[in-house]
Amino acid sequence: MRQVMDAMMKQQTAMIDETLRKRYPQTSAEKIARADRMIQETVKDMPMDAILDDMIPIYQRHFSKTDIDAMSTFYASPTGQKMMKEMPALTTEAMQASYARMQKQIDTIQQRAEQIVKEDQEKPKSTPATPPSLQKN
């Protein structure tokens, strides 16, 4: 789990770096490095045991004890061990391969969300209508 998290965070850091450079081109390399250090510190402090404890009931809802035993047998096998060893690199490569497509979608979503907020802020505040009982005849 830690290896997968490390691989994912490495890729996420690269994505955040690129996003920061794109949105704030004047940002110095030192500030980008500072953001990277903050991310690394945050990840280092992540409570992995608690996260795993949170996952247990989810796995229990989706898998029987027999399923878990079969998965344990698989992960103890040479192929399972290879999968565990290769998973961080596989995850990193898969994220790199899909990054450009994902980033394009994320940018589109971000632009749409910003437009919605902007439109809402630009709307003139309507004044409440005078109730008929207070209107002059």
User: Is the separation of the CB atoms in 36 and 11 below 8 Å?
Assistant: no
Q: Which residue has the higher pLDDT, 14 or 74?
A: 74
Q: CA-to-CA distance for 118 and 46, rounded, in angstroms?
A: 35
In a domain, 86, yes or no: yes
pLDDT 10s digits, 58-92: 999 999 999 999 998 998 999 998 988 888 788 87
Tokens of 82: 């290879």
pLDDT at 98 (0 to 100): 84
pLDDT at 128 (0 to 100): 57
In a domain, 43, yes or no: yes
In a domain, 126, yes or no: no
pLDDT at 67 (0 to 100): 96
Q: CA-to-CA distance for 12 and 91, rounded, in angstroms?
A: 11
- Sign of the CA dihedral running 120, 121, 122, 124: positive
pLDDT 10s digits, 94-118: 878 887 788 888 888 888 888 888 8
In a domain, 6, yes or no: yes
User: What value does the mean pLDDT of the chain take?
Assistant: 81
User: pLDDT confidence of 3, banded at 50, 70, 90?
Assistant: low
**Distance between the two ends of the chain, CA-based, in angstroms?**
75
Cα radius of gyration (the chain): 25
Q: CA-to-CA distance for 76 and 47, rounded, in angstroms?
A: 25
Question: What is the pTM for the complete model shown?
Answer: 0.47
E-strand spans in 1-137?
none
User: Is the separation of the CB atoms in 96 and 11 below 8 Å?
Assistant: yes
Average pLDDT over residues 32-44: 84
Number of structural domains in the chain: 1
Boundaries of domain holding 17: 2-109
Question: Is residue 137's pLDDT more than 60?
Answer: no
